[in-house]
Amino acid sequence: MNRLLGIFFILVWMTACSSDDQNGPIGVSQIPEPPKDNVPDEPILNDEELLDLTQRETFKYFWDFAEVNSGGARERYHPNEPTRDQYVVATGGTGFGLMGMLVGMERGFITREEGIERLAGLLDFLETADRFHGAWPHWMDGRSGNVIPFSPLDNGGDLVETAFLAQGLICIKEYFKNGSNTEKALADKADVLWKGIEWDWYTQNKDALYWHWSPNHGFAINFELKGYNEVLITYVLAAASPDFGISKETYVNGWASNGQIKSSDTQYNLPLLVDHAGNAPLGGPLFWAHYSYLGLNPKGLTDGFVDYWDVNVNHTKINYNYCVENPKNYSGYGEDVWGLTASYSRSNDGSIGYNAHSPSNDTGVISPTAAISSIPYTPNESLKALHYFYKNKDRLLGPAGFYDAFSPHYNFWVAEAYLVIDQGPIIVMIENHRTGLLWKLFMGNQEVRHGLERLGFKFTN
């Protein structure tokens, strides 16, 4: 029954994300792909220059194209239709954006003063926005902070999106806690905001966390959080909460399914290690290796069941090897064109839709975020893909970074649009690869460390 609910939720998500594109192929480019030999090589950038450029351009999504009233991250941005969903603030994406703004200050894309001013306004918005037993909704109206229903039953708290936001709030706290009085006040507010989340309410007094609660519908969706997928961070933060914490038993029964999270599946001589429900033996979409690990450092992270660094490295390498093998014979796939994850996608009529791409759901569409955000796990393979994306910058690089998806197979179809959940991991995971900034901040938080210890984790950071 849980898997059926999961399939239902994914279908609701796909419908929500693609509903803004029912009027035809807005923002779609179908320029024929030239032979690779004819792709211009200039200007040539070395690896570090290319990483600089990618972070700088992606940062614009969270700075130049943020929701204008709140400063939060918009759910989506279509350059050819800039007012589409212009006030829809994504809770989880805003958490990614908080971390991205720290990168922006560190890299000099903005000044520290500019960053503090934007962050102060954004935290004020989050303080007064709708919350449901401490959890924010999936979407908020940037003008008022009121909930925007994600689906008919989903008009209340979204615990997973809230966890992604809390991950960013903790990084803000750690970054500014020893600064000026203004910076310490910002850190204190971020700390209070995340500590107000009532994680234990979302257990329904059972040994598991549940995704949604609505003041009108209660726990009607009844979606239990079980691994393996993108939600590990939710359990870690729930255990870390000083006032609304969960027990180790909730984690073991919920996330780990009493040990059934483990898998013996192997592909390309790489053990999958965990059960990617519905996606075995090739693994699920690559965002499962990204969202929870923007702050949570998987290096040396073990919970008595698996080593999460090995889980993420193997997941990524299986995805890469699948694209290189290319069993469906899609044009263009190879060592420099790979990466399957949830993103915008090509509908049968050539318009923009949405799909959770993975080896078991391969439609010939590549999502740049998949390879780029995997750079801590596959640095050489990710950089090779990134150089390919840049060589094709005339079609793939837009005003807020690389576009969300493309398909060499379909005459180099390009979705000239952006989703926040894909842009956020790019800037953050590149930074973790380069300096470990967000990993150091998040893993340095004492409540996080206590939460990991409560759940029986071992970690080296």
* CATH number where 383 lies: 1.50.10.140
Q: Does 458 map to a domain?
A: no
Residue 452 forms part of a structural domain: no
Splitting the chain (461 residues) into consecutive groups of 10 residues, what average pLDDT does each group show?
A: 41 43 42 50 84 98 98 98 97 98 98 98 98 98 98 98 98 98 98 98 98 98 97 98 98 97 96 94 97 98 97 98 98 98 96 97 98 98 98 98 98 98 98 98 98 96 77
pLDDT, tens only, 130-189? 999 999 999 999 999 999 999 999 999 999 999 999 999 999 999 999 999 999 999 999
Write down the pLDDT at residue 4.
37
Find, among 296, 291, 336, the residue nearest to 315 by Cα: 291
* pLDDT tens-digit series, residues 35-49: 554 555 556 899 999
Q: What's the chain's average pLDDT?
A: 93
Instruction: Give the per-residue pLDDT at 280.
Output: 87
- Cα separation, 293 vs 285, in Å, equals 15
Residue 368 lies in a domain: yes
Has residue 453 been placed in a domain?
A: no
461 lies in some domain: no
Q: Tell me, what's the pLDDT at 44?
A: 86
Q: Which domain holds residue 208?
A: 2-447
459 within a domain of the structure (yes/no): no
Give the predicted TM-score (pTM) of the model. 0.92
Tokens matching residue 164? 């992604």
Number of domains present in the structure of the chain:
1
Please, is 235 exposed, middle or buried when counting C-beta atoms within 10 Å of its C-beta (0-12, 13-18, 19+)?
buried
> Taking a C-beta distance cutoff of 8 angstroms, is the pair 235, 456 a contact?
no
| Per-residue model confidence (pLDDT) at position 38 | 54
Is 295 domain-assigned?
Answer: yes
Question: Cα separation of 430 and 433, whole Å?
Answer: 5
Structural domain includes residue 460 = no
Residue pLDDT, tens place only, 254-304 = 999 999 999 999 999 999 999 998 898 999 999 999 999 999 999 999 999
* pLDDT for position 283: 97
Whole-angstrom distance, CA of residue 159 vs CA of residue 213: 8
